[in-house]
Chains A and B, each alone.
Chain A
Amino acid sequence: MSTEPALKRARQILRAHSDRLLAKPNVVGVGVGYRKSSPSELALVVMVKQKLPESALAEDEIVPSDIDGLPVEVRMVGEVNAQMDASNQGD
């Protein structure tokens, strides 16, 4: 399980890098979560509109696999919309 110091460190890394990650074209959000493959290990979660192969991305668009020793996990969340009833929304 994550300990308080581990969570604190993950938050610090998140804060230091969130702006840079959010500037990448496909990135919708960033946060802290557990790794899917190892649910007791913390990761920096990068939420993207769609998962693309690295070959389809420019070098500066690729999300690194770890940052300052913290694993990075890319998850597809799609388009995040405010959830009023969509019956006459344009989207």
Chain B
Amino acid sequence: MAEIKEVRRAKELSKYRLLSKPNVLGVGYGYKEKAGRRTADLCVVALVRVKLPKSSLAPRELVPPTLDGVSTDVVQVGDIRALQARTDRWRPAPGGVSIGHYQITAGTLGSVVRDATTGERLILSNNHVLANSNAAGLGDAILQPGPTDGGNADSDTIATLERFIPLLFIKEPSDCGVAQWVADAANFVARLLGSRSKLVVVREDPTAVNQVDAALARPVADSDLLDEILDIGEVSGTVEPTLGMGVRKSGRTTAFTTGQITVLEATIDVNYGEGRTARFEGQIVSGPMSQGGDSGSLLVAGDSLQAVGLLYAGSNQATIFNPIREVMAALNIEL
């Protein structure tokens, strides 16, 4: 049995010769495998993209069975790419990476979906990720990565805003001109009097209820999108959520996480910043499995590749999802 010193020496002496063979991507040392099982024998390991039968290789392309008396092993590793962060630029882009309307920070590219009428591939995420919480115009630039992650409109526009379901707020700063003028005047007086507090006009509509926070973007080039979601794979079809169901998601900020559904049929008030609150009904609640930037992630069943929900909100104690079937019906899409 070869000593580690001999194996290392054999590896150092032969590595450049091995790396010059067309299929070899890397050289190292490790325990030899026989019939899929690790043996106690140390050997020089050649990492290849694909294992090929000896008959299809020229003699000079073969990895010799021994090098300086040390045995060798050939291990298939496939294509090796540099590990990319989810906040990096990805082309083609899979689900689970950073994306955003050019005026927001960043959220998550949920998944590629298909228009139920035309069959075209589109990007699914939230209204507040792709449509800037109603403030966007159709055709606006969608950046991958999102602006906070360095995306800019000149070089990183992956798609344009296709359509979105408007968010209804139960509480938001008023856009009523007269009321704002009164408030501005009051603020002016207050400033003269040395007050630092500011009066903001708030409009309330307690009857406004949402089912989904969802939007679609159309890729600039179809080839820029991958059907799979990072660390999950290619999702197809849906499954109804149940209490206690194990679930998983892949998102920009917290990457791959798992959880359990704790509450169903939830009506819940969500803070959208800038004094806006939106009420949602029929929602799915899980334990905490997300943070800011994960919005738009697809929620997938723990034991199958079926979609369950669309992540859009959360706290330190819980994560909130739209039921995926409501999202698909509202946007006229298929998974």
Residues of A within 8 A of B (CB): 2, 11, 14, 18, 22, 28-34, 39, 45, 47, 75-91
Q: Determine how close the nearest CB of chain B comes to the CB of A91; give it in whole angstroms.
A: 6
Q: Are A80 and B269 in contact (CB under 8 A)?
A: yes
Q: How far is the CA of A38 from the CA of B65 in the complex (A)?
A: 62
Q: How far is the CA of A81 from the CA of B278 in the complex (A)?
A: 10
What 19 new A-B contacts, CB under 8 Å, besides A47-B285, A84-B105?
Answer: A11-B265, A14-B265, A29-B263, A31-B264, A31-B266, A33-B262, A33-B263, A34-B244, A45-B262, A45-B266, A78-B316, A79-B271, A81-B270, A82-B213, A82-B313, A83-B295, A84-B100, A84-B295, A85-B105
- Any chain A CB within 8 A of the CB of B274? yes
Between A and B, 29 residue pairs with Cβ closer than 8 Å are A2-B243, A11-B265, A22-B267, A22-B269, A22-B279, A28-B268, A29-B263, A29-B266, A31-B265, A32-B265, A33-B263, A47-B263, A75-B317, A79-B271, A80-B269, A80-B313, A80-B315, A81-B270, A81-B272, A82-B270, A82-B295, A83-B291, A83-B292, A83-B294, A83-B295, A83-B313, A84-B106, A85-B106, A87-B105
Complex-state Cα separation, A28 to B262, whole angstroms: 16
B residues near A (Cβ < 8 Å) are: 100, 104-107, 126, 128-129, 133, 146, 148, 213, 243-244, 252-253, 262-274, 278-279, 283, 285, 290-295, 311-318, 320
Q: Does A31 contact B105, Cβ atoms closer than 8 Å?
A: no
| Residues A81 and B314 in contact, CB atoms below 8 Å apart | yes
Report Cα–Cα, A11/B267, bound state, in Å: 12
- In the complex, the 9 A-B pairs of residues with the closest C-beta atoms, listed nearest first: A29-B268, A31-B266, A85-B293, A86-B292, A31-B263, A85-B105, A78-B315, A83-B295, A33-B263
Report if A89-B244 is in contact (Cβ < 8 Å); known contacts: A83-B312, A84-B104. Answer: no
Contacts of B104 in A (CB 8 A): 84
Q: Least Cβ distance of B286 to chain A in Å?
A: 11
Chain B residue with minimal CB distance to A11? Answer: B265
